[in-house]
């Protein structure tokens, strides 16, 4: 891109950007020019969900309502494909530009999301810099999925299928996902009996929120604890949630864990 073209592109770029989705929060914070992003969603400051919670604290927070976002006078709103359709529809009827960014289910699609948001913000050069670093790291951390057998198990007995970003992170780090053995492409509840019979070498859960929740009681079940005791247990975290360069942290942690487990066999 020539200097003149770059100057023209920046002149046309939005100057008051609001994000109302956790994943677009991260993409916008990584890509936006200083002062360009004016608000991120309330989820962005939750350290159990957001890998950029500290950075998000520097922005105004929105709760995803059309009224509050409209009053911010944005010239671009970034949303997810599953963001509240009533909010998205109302903002568009009020003349606000809303762009909905697709969910990333494969690591190889992360560059597409960076380019998409980078183009919307007029920050293509910044996007290409992040993409180059991401692709280098991804190539370094990609391994054959022949390692220990692993399973996801969350509150309410919820597990993840093969058609998910978490599956791609897990298998790219070299683990075998038992969802493939069970023929589960979709996510959903998995009976504890089936998990125990599958006997994974690694069970990946989540960090609980403070307080009590009946949905988490199954995670304390003796049968699940026996499965974990026979192998290993760990937790996923904010780096797993969205298709951004933060997934590299998840890959690095998993790669170290796989190496430890294989050395102990």
- In words, the CATH class of domain 3-132 is alpha beta
pLDDT at 124 over 90: yes
Instruction: Work out the percent of the chain whose per-residue pLDDT is above 70.
Output: 96
Average confidence score pLDDT of the chain: 94
Axis-axis angle for helices 22-31, 124-141 (nearest 10): 110
In the chain, list all ranges with CATH 3.40.50.1980.
3-132, 149-264
pLDDT band at 119 (very low <50, low <70, confident <90, very high): very high
Return the percentage of the chain with pLDDT > 90, whole number.
91
User: What's the average model confidence in pLDDT over 236-249?
Assistant: 97
pLDDT higher than 80, residue 11: no
* Inter-residue contact 107 to 172 (CB < 8 Å): yes
How far apart (Å, rounded) are the C-alpha atoms in residues 205 and 236? 6
Q: Which of 78, 58, 251 is nearest to 170 (CA)?
A: 251
pLDDT, residue 40, reads 98
pLDDT of residue 1 exceeding 70: no
Secondary structure of the chain as H, E, C letters: CCHHHHHHHHHCCCCCEEECCHHHHHHHHHHCCCCCEEEEEHHHHCCCCCCCHHHHCCCEEECCCHHHHHHCCCCEEEEECCCCHHHHHHHHHCCCCEEEECCCCCHHHHHHHHHHHHHHHCCHHHHHHHHHHHHHHHHHHCCCCCCCEEEECEHHHEECCCCCHHHHHHHHCCCEEHHHHHCCCCCEECCHHHHHHHCCCEEEECCCCCCCCHHHHHHHCHHHHHHHHHCEEEECCHHHCCCCCCHHHHHHHHHHHHHHHHHHC
The answer, yes or no, to whether residue 208 has pLDDT greater than 90, is: no
* pTM, to two decimals: 0.92
Q: Which residue has the higher pLDDT, 182 or 4?
A: 182
The domain 149-264 is classified under which CATH number: 3.90.1150.10, 3.40.50.1980, 3.90.226.10, 3.40.50.2300? 3.40.50.1980
- CA dist 260 to 79, 157, 205, 263, Å? 40, 27, 19, 5
Does the pLDDT of residue 3 top 50, yes or no?
A: no
């Amino acid at each position: 891109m020539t200097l003149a073209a770059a100057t023209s592109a920046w002149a046309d770029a939005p100057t008051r950007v609001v994000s109302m989705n956790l994943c677009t929060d991260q993409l916008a914070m990584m890509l936006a020019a200083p002062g360009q992003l004016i608000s991120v969603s309330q989820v962005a400051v939750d350290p159990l969900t957001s890998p950029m919670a500290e950075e998000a604290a520097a922005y105004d927070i929105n709760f995803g309502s059309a009224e509050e976002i409209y009053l911010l006078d944005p010239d671009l709103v970034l949303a997810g494909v599953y963001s509240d359709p009533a909010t998205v529809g109302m903002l568009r009827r009020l003349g606000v530009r809303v762009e909905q960014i697709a969910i990333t289910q494969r690591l190889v699609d992360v560059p597409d999301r960076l380019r998409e948001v980078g183009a919307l913000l007029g920050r293509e050069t910044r996007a290409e810099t992040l993409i180059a670093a991401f692709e280098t790291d991804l190539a370094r951390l990609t391994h054959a999925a022949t390692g220990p057998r692993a399973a996801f198990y969350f509150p309410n007995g919820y597990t993840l299928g093969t058609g998910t970003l978490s599956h791609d992170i897990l298998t790219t780090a070299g683990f075998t996902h038992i969802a493939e053995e069970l023929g589960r492409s979709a996510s959903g509840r998995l009976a504890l009996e089936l998990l125990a019979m599958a006997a994974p070498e690694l069970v990946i859960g989540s960090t609980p929120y403070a307080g009590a929740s009946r949905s988490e009681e199954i995670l304390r079940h003796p049968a699940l604890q026996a499965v974990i005791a026979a192998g290993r247990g760990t937790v996923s975290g904010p780096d797993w949630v969205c298709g951004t360069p933060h997934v590299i942290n998840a890959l690095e942690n998993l790669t170290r864990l796989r190496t430890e487990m294989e050395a102990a066999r």
